Amino acid sequence: MRLNQYTTGTYTPGAPLFQQLLWFFLGDPLVRSRLLPFSGLKVLILRRFGAKIGQGVRIKPGVRIKFPWRLTVGDHVWIGENAWIDNLALVTIESHVCLSQDIYLCTGNHDWSDPHFQLITAEIYIEQRSWIAARAIIGPGVRVGQGAILGLGSVTGHSLAAMTIYAGNPAQLIKKRTIREAIPEMIQNTSESLTPDSKFSVAE
């Protein structure tokens, strides 16, 4: 291959140059900063740069996001320290997902059979109630099924089935995930503390 002839082809970053520069020099350093511990402010900055983010999202220090305008996050998502969302393509994270420390979401690849090492991008989609454990890596085009777990330090380039635990490099199916039933007293206390409107929203 001839890297001096490499081009990105028809690929574009998806935002004007001034927006990219503003993100690179201002937005990105603020979101990554360990001197800015407040998730709410980081969420506000990401929204200003085009990210779609729900309520109750927690963003720890050191989080890196390539292009916020290609990021969609649901409600009550946790993003751990030093997580790297390398979203050349769209990354969608549904509600109640936990992304632990040092995880890497990679949406870019190259065609190794092409003499010009052509860039290839593909979306990543993580369904609700999933857990991507610390230092795990997800490759382009992967869909993580609802409630799936990718174990500590694991690597996957293939989609993961719902409610299933995977581990290793490459990640292999370990077993089905089961959730213990809630304690009846806990359910009753929670129900009593909800207003009629909140009960309806929880049921939905």
Instruction: State pLDDT tens for residues 23-76.
Output: 999 999 999 999 988 999 999 999 999 999 999 999 999 999 999 999 999 999
Does pLDDT of 22 surpass 50?
Answer: yes
Residue carrying the six token digits 């292999």: 172
Q: Residue by residue, what is the 3-state secondary structure of the chain?
A: CCHHHCCCCCCCCCCCHHHHHHHHHHHHHHHHCCCCCCHHHHHHHHHHCCCEECCCCEECCCCEECCHHHEEECCCCEECCCCEEECCCCEEECCCCEECCCCEEECEEECCCCCCCCEEECCEEECCCCEECCCCEECCCCEECCCCEECCCCEECCCECCCEEEECCCCEEEEECCCCCCCHHHHHHHHHHCCHHHHHHHHC
Note the pLDDT of residue 8: 87
The residues facing 53 across adjacent strands are 73
Q: Residue 200: pLDDT band by 50, 70, 90 thresholds?
A: very low
Please give the mean pLDDT across all residues of the chain: 90
CATH (residue range 3-179): 2.160.10.10
What pTM, to 2 d.p., does this model score?
Answer: 0.86
pLDDT score of 196? 44
Q: How many other CB atoms are found less than 10 A from the CB of residue 55?
A: 10
- The whole-number pLDDT of residue 188 equals 57
Which residues make Cβ contacts (< 8 Å) with residue 122, sequence separation at least 6? 89, 107, 109, 140, 141
Partnered with residue 159 across adjacent β-strands are: none
122-136, 150-164, 185-199: least confident range: 185-199
For 145-186, how does the pLDDT look when each residue is reduced to its tens digit (9 = 90+)? 999 999 999 999 999 999 999 999 999 999 999 988 866 655
As a whole number, mean pLDDT of residues 118-123 equals: 95
